[in-house]
């Protein structure tokens, strides 16, 4: 029996579409060299990402009012540069470093795969990033989204159901007509609990030496692919 096809496919973005770790390390290391700022850039990137989910949980659990991801990133960054002993960072440096998340680069299969999928499906990011972050990233990297579902459209972060269901509502689709594609099993589980279709492909080097999970599909997701190009092939485009 053939698996049904969705009308719209929304993509988790950090890790799934863009290689945040390698992008940020390269970007910040080059910036540090240009500015003459020495420091543990790799350690900063890993610690910054480790602070990502706890910072969103402060919003999700009501400890902070709605705060967009750029601002959570900045709060974490301000703390980490002190903790890691970075010296000589100006206010402009901190703004530039924080906007590093707007400059992330796609995995090699992402643009060709998304371009193929766009010919038949509505495609967009469904990310905890804010619209400006995702839009600046898309403009810089030529990611051909139809619509950008930033978390600031919903005033909720994933895995809150308001995000997955918000996409369906905004597109006038039933949840079962929308598919989440992600390299993270927990994101897919939350989407499936809301009635969305699901597609998994692994990004085994996302966290570099710190990768500890998401090497394989942990549930029978609707589609399991090698990458976005393979997903396009499985979906017949």
Contact residues toward a copy of itself (CB under 8 A) are 70, 122, 130-132, 135, 138-139, 145-148, 150, 152-153, 170-172
How many other C-beta atoms are found inside a 10 Å radius of the C-beta of residue 65?
Answer: 7
Rounded Cα gap, residues 183 and 19, in angstroms: 11
- Taking the complex as a whole, the smallest distance from the CB of residue 234 to a copy of itself amounts, in Å, to 21
- Taking the complex as a whole, the smallest distance from the CB of residue 2 to a copy of itself amounts, in Å, to 23
71 vs 93, which CB is nearer to a copy of itself? 71
Show the tokens assigned to 219: 């549930």
For residue 223, the cross-strand partners are 199
- Taking the complex as a whole, the smallest distance from the CB of residue 215 to a copy of itself amounts, in Å, to 34
209 vs 236, which CB is nearer to a copy of itself? 236
70 vs 93, which CB is nearer to a copy of itself? 70
- Taking the complex as a whole, the smallest distance from the CB of residue 69 to a copy of itself amounts, in Å, to 12
- Taking the complex as a whole, the smallest distance from the CB of residue 48 to a copy of itself amounts, in Å, to 20
138 vs 225, which CB is nearer to a copy of itself? 138
For residue 198, the cross-strand partners are 180
Spell 8-27 as b/e; 16+ CB within 10 A means b.
Answer: bbbbbbbbbbbbbbbbbbbb
Under a CB-based contact definition with an 8 Å cutoff, are residues 19 and 137 in contact? no
125 vs 159, which CB is nearer to a copy of itself? 125
Instruction: Give me the DSSP letters along 217-233.
Output: -SS--SEE-SSHHHHHH
140 vs 193, which CB is nearer to a copy of itself? 140
- Taking the complex as a whole, the smallest distance from the CB of residue 27 to a copy of itself amounts, in Å, to 19
- Taking the complex as a whole, the smallest distance from the CB of residue 39 to a copy of itself amounts, in Å, to 27
Rounded Cα gap, residues 221 and 38, in angstroms: 44
Rounded Cα gap, residues 135 and 148, in angstroms: 7
According to DSSP, residue 2 is labeled P
Residues 6+ apart with CB under 8 A from 60: 156, 157, 160
91: helix, coil or strand? helix
115 vs 211, which CB is nearer to a copy of itself? 115
């Amino acid at each position: 029996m053939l698996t049904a096809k969705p009308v719209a496919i929304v993509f988790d973005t950090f890790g799934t579409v863009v290689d945040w770790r390698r992008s940020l390390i390269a970007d910040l290391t080059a910036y540090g060299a240009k500015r003459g700022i020495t420091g543990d850039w790799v350690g900063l990137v890993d610690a910054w990402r480790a602070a990502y989910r706890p910072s969103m949980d402060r919003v999700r659990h009501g400890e902070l009012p709605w705060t967009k991801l750029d601002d959570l990133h900045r709060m974490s960054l301000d703390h980490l540069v002190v903790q890691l002993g970075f010296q000589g960072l100006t206010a402009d440096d901190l703004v530039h470093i924080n906007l590093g998340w707007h400059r992330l680069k796609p995995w090699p299969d992402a643009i060709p795969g998304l371009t193929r999928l766009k010919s038949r499906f509505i495609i967009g990011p469904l990310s905890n990033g804010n619209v400006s972050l995702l839009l600046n990233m898309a403009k810089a990297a030529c990611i051909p989204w139809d619509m950008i579902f930033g978390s600031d459209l919903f005033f909720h972060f994933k895995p809150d159901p308001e995000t997955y269901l918000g996409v369906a509502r905004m597109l006038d689709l039933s949840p079962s007509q929308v598919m989440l594609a992600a390299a993270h099993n927990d994101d897919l589980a939350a989407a499936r609990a809301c009635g969305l279709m699901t597609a998994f492909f692994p990004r085994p080097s996302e966290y570099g030496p710190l990768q500890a999970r998401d090497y394989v599909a942990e549930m029978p997701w609707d589609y399991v692919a090698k990458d976005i190009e393979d997903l396009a092939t499985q979906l017949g485009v």
